[in-house]
């Protein structure tokens, strides 16, 4: 059962990846924890860490 679920999830991920755009035209802007806007550059590969805390 777990193996069948794994194959379904993998197929869904491949389908979603194939349907997405190859590049992003506009820049991405996010808000940090202090409500400051942070723009992610598009001209080079970026590794984004997303950490949540519950306090």
Q: What are residue 37's DSSP bridge partners?
A: 31
Report residue 24 as tokens: 């992003």
Termini Cα distance of the chain: 37
The answer as to whether 39 is a domain residue is: yes
**Predicted structure pTM score:** 0.41
Total number of domains constituting the chain = 1
The answer as to whether 15 is a domain residue is: no
User: Within 10 A of 6 (CB to CB), how many other CB atoms are there?
Assistant: 10
SS3 of residue 14 by DSSP: helix
* Residue 14 or 46, more confident: 14
The answer as to whether 1 is a domain residue is: no
The answer as to whether 41 is a domain residue is: yes
The answer as to whether 12 is a domain residue is: no
The answer as to whether 35 is a domain residue is: yes
Tell me the per-residue pLDDT of 13-42, one tens digit each, with 9 for 90 and over.
Answer: 999 888 877 777 777 888 888 888 988 877
**Which pLDDT score is estimated for 55?**
56
Domain range for 42 is: 25-55
**Taking a C-beta distance cutoff of 8 angstroms, is the pair 39, 33 a contact?**
no
């Amino acid at each position: 059962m777990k193996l069948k679920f794994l194959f379904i999830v993998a197929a869904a991920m491949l389908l979603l990846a194939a349907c997405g755009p190859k590049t992003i035209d506009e820049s991405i802007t996010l808000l940090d924890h202090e409500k400051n806007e942070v723009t992610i550059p598009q001209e080079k590969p970026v590794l984004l860490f997303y950490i949540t805390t519950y306090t």
